[in-house]
Amino acid sequence: MSDLETFRAETRAWLEAHCPESQRQPILKREQIWGGRNRVFPSADAQAWFEAMADRGWTAPSWPKEYGGGGLSIEEAKVLQQEMARLKCRPPLYEIGIWMFGPALLAYGNEAQKQEHIPKIVKGEIRWAQGYSEPGAGSDLASLKTKAEDMGDHFLVNGTKIWTTNAHKADWIFCLVRTDPSAPKQQGISFLLIDMASEGVSVSPIELISGESEFCQTFFDNVKVPKENLVGELNKGWDVAKELLKHERTLMSSMESMSEKEDFSLLELAQQYLSLNSEGTIEDGEIRSRIAQLLMEMEAFEQLNERMFYQYKAKQVDQRLGMLLKHIGTKQLQRKDELILEVLGNKALSWTAPTANQQEHIVTRNWAFNKSHTIAGGTSEIQLNIIAKRALGMAS
Amino acid sequence: MIFNEEQSMLKDTARAFIEENAPVDNLRKLRAAPEGPAYDLELWQQLVELGIPAVALPEEYGGLGFGFMGLAAVLGETGRNLVATPLVSSVALAASLIKLVGTEEQKSRWLPALASGELTATVAVQEGRHYNPKSIETKWANGALSGSKTMVMDAQEAGLVLVIAKNASGALCVLALNSLEDVEQERYMLMDGRKFSDLHFRDLAGVEELGEGEQVASVEQALDIATIALAAEMIGGAESLLERTVYHLNEREQFDVKLATFQALQHRCAEMYCQLELARSAVLSAFTRLDQGRNIAKAASQAKALANECYQHISNEAVQMHGGMGITDELDIGLYLKRSRVCNQLFGDANFHRKRYALQIGI
């Protein structure tokens, strides 16, 4: 047996022994475990499953062992992912620190910062938020104005960040701040870590078209931040941000698997809500054809990801392919949401009516919320600019 | 999902050879001679010498055993330059049909000759306006073959013609003809400059049946192999068109700037690239499954449906973005446009494959 097959057998046995039956059911939003000082476990089973995984560092399987990660190779991490999918194990931890911030800190942080922050992310002890966009700096992120002045022994931060996801529940926030107002745009920006409990930090949630308020505006009013919270060099924060953005875009392209939302299968909803003929196929040929079309394209997207995995393994990475993921994935997700609405008909329209069952209710809220996916993390228009210029080499 | 070292080398060899010996102009020469051969026989001989027909066949029949993925690598390259070859008709389809359906004796009789390039073969499948193997009416009963076939590729050049028919009990079967002497034929050129034939069988006797007993699944598998082979060629064509279009936009100036600087054009090119890489991933995935010995019915339909739409869309955009020159025959763009439409119909259009995919996933 190859090492990888031994690892697979051991992993399978371990998961079977440690993942309680209740943690192998589709997860509801209220049952998700997010990190943080104030984290709550929805059940004893959920806590046991989370702790078993966190102890092994498998909440961050491929991070180095010295910082509490799982220390797995990319092949082993994929095996773990496959085995978890096979048993339908729930993700043990939902956390921006795992998905985006951790990888960037591992790449750019100094030793003390990694020792301080990475283990707490793995163990789900600290919940992170992201402070990038500002009311005046969206797609043109580099025009951001929140400033951090050097006061000798600390930075003094003033300004505001918007679309700070779950900032009202976060313990820490990583921010892009202007440290040199006289330098050209990207060159005067630094990457700073701020404790949300600091004096002068306040948060105000923003109500969205989905009725939820997970996006916030965060205000910084004369906030004192220790010098050691600067990640990377002063005025070189843009490099860290770019590294982090790569992880965010990869993440957003696969929102279906990583989403904090409940996921619904278009195929199953179609079979449940549409009239079928005697052979079990959808009677209405027009909608059947559009569903098949989207499912073919979504399968191709999985195949694209698989291709990239094998390229990575063979060290033959085609960098251009990574630039496509966010745009393709988010566009497909929205097309799926639209088709689901169409399949449900007027069952998808209720907002507060008591007639709506839970599934119909969530599907509709997801549809509204997922409009954010083609905007957040770099709009689709920005993605297309990047593809045209960097992947295709079109003149600018 | 990706080419291994051998397959990548094969791809590089094929690209270098085709760039040197098979410019798109070759197709114009074939087109100028409607009665002439369907493909450049001399060029084919050179490809034979490179071992291309043997790539996917197992070593026991004189093949190289590189797997179908190796063939996909070559087909992408022929697609890029619109090179006419019997790779789809003979190497992908006829050889697979013999390998999957034929008796041991038939396999040893024909496969080594196909691998060495001594023999090329073709398969008569399509009837009527749209490809659909389920509605085949050509009949094989009481030792006689009757019916009509259309869109038969490379028939005049083939030393062996296989015909897919239905037997007395309505099951698919395959007949082998060593010659078309007693068969009524009409040969014609389509808009892509390639030659096709219609064949009419009227109680034709003396034909040999391929294999023994019910062969439906194997026949469908062979057709699926041809389907993804053609899809691989189509991806090559679409890729070349996108490159040509981006090159043109980077060269051509209007309003004192390169056309490529206009965002309206940038975004359309970026969308084309997304579509191309999705379709390519589906095609590569189908070939991977095939070489792993897995069923490819669903994968083939997914790959062909996406390749059809991709090539059609990119060829339309390429014409538009080349402006007035795009609708002249002088530019090669129009040749790709026309080829894409012929490819759409061969082995099933997007509509056919979308429905077949829907059935496979149970809706």
Q: How many CA atoms lie within 13 A of A67 on its CB side?
A: 27
Q: How far is CA B136 from the centre of its chain?
A: 20
At residue A279 the predicted structure's pLDDT band, cuts being 50, 70 and 90, is confident
Domain with CATH 1.10.540 in chain A: 3-94
Name the range with the highest mean pLDDT among A101-110, A129-138, B269-278.
Answer: B269-278
Work out the average pLDDT over A10-27: 92
**B 321-360 → A contacts, CB under 8 A:** 351, 354-355, 357-359
The C-alpha of A303 sits at a distance from chain B's nearest C-alpha, in angstroms, of 6
Pick the CATH number of B5-116 from 1.10.3720.10, 1.20.1530.20, 1.10.540.10, 1.10.260.30: 1.10.540.10
Write out pLDDT tens, residues A350-391: 888 666 677 888 899 899 999 999 999 889 999 999 999 999
Prediction ipTM score: 0.96
DSSP structure string for B163-218: EEEEETTS-EEEEEES--TTSEEEEEE-TTS-EEEEEEEEEE-SPEEPSSS--HHH
A395 CA to chain B: closest CA distance, Å?
A: 5
Tell whether B249 is within 8 A of chain A (Cβ): yes
Place of tokens 């959920």: A46
- Is A292 in contact with B246 (Cβ distance < 8 A)? no
pLDDT in the model for residue A357: 78
3-state secondary structure of A215: coil
User: CB distance from A388 to chain B under 8 Å?
Assistant: yes
Smallest Cα distance from A286 to chain B, Å: 11
Dump pLDDT digits (tens) for B148-158.
999 999 999 99
Every domain range in chain B assigned CATH 1.10.540.10: 5-116
Nearest CA in chain A to B285: A303
pLDDT of residue A260: 47
Residues A159 and A203: their CA atoms lie apart, in Å, by 12
Domain with CATH 1.20.140.10 in chain B: 216-360
By Cβ distance, the residue of B269, B282, B351 closest to A300 is: B282
Q: What is the pLDDT of residue A350?
A: 86
The per-residue pLDDT for A257 is 43
Q: CA-CA distance, A389 to B15, in Å (whole number)?
A: 26
**Tokens 């449940």 identify what position?**
A272
Q: Do A300 and B269 touch (CB under 8 A)?
A: no
Picking from B250, B267, B281, the nearest residue to A304 by CB comes out as B281
Where is pLDDT greater, at A324 or A248? A324
C-beta of residue A329 within 8 angstroms of C-beta of residue A254: yes
What is the rounded CA–CA span in Å between residue B265 and residue A347?
40
Q: Does domain A128-240 have CATH number 3.90.950.20?
A: no
Write down the CATH superfamily of domain A254-391.
Answer: Butyryl-CoA Dehydrogenase, subunit A, domain 3 (1.20.140.10)
Give the C-alpha separation, A368 to A355, whole Å: 19
Segments of chain A assigned to CATH 2.40.110.10: 128-240
CATH number, span A3-94: 1.10.540
Interface of A with B in 286-315 (CB under 8 A): 288-289, 291-293, 295-297, 299-301, 303-304, 306-307, 309-311, 314
CATH number at B121-209: 2.40.110.10
Split at pLDDT 50, 70, 90, the class of A262 is: low
CATH of domain B216-360: 1.20.140.10
In chain B, list all ranges with CATH 2.40.110.10.
121-209
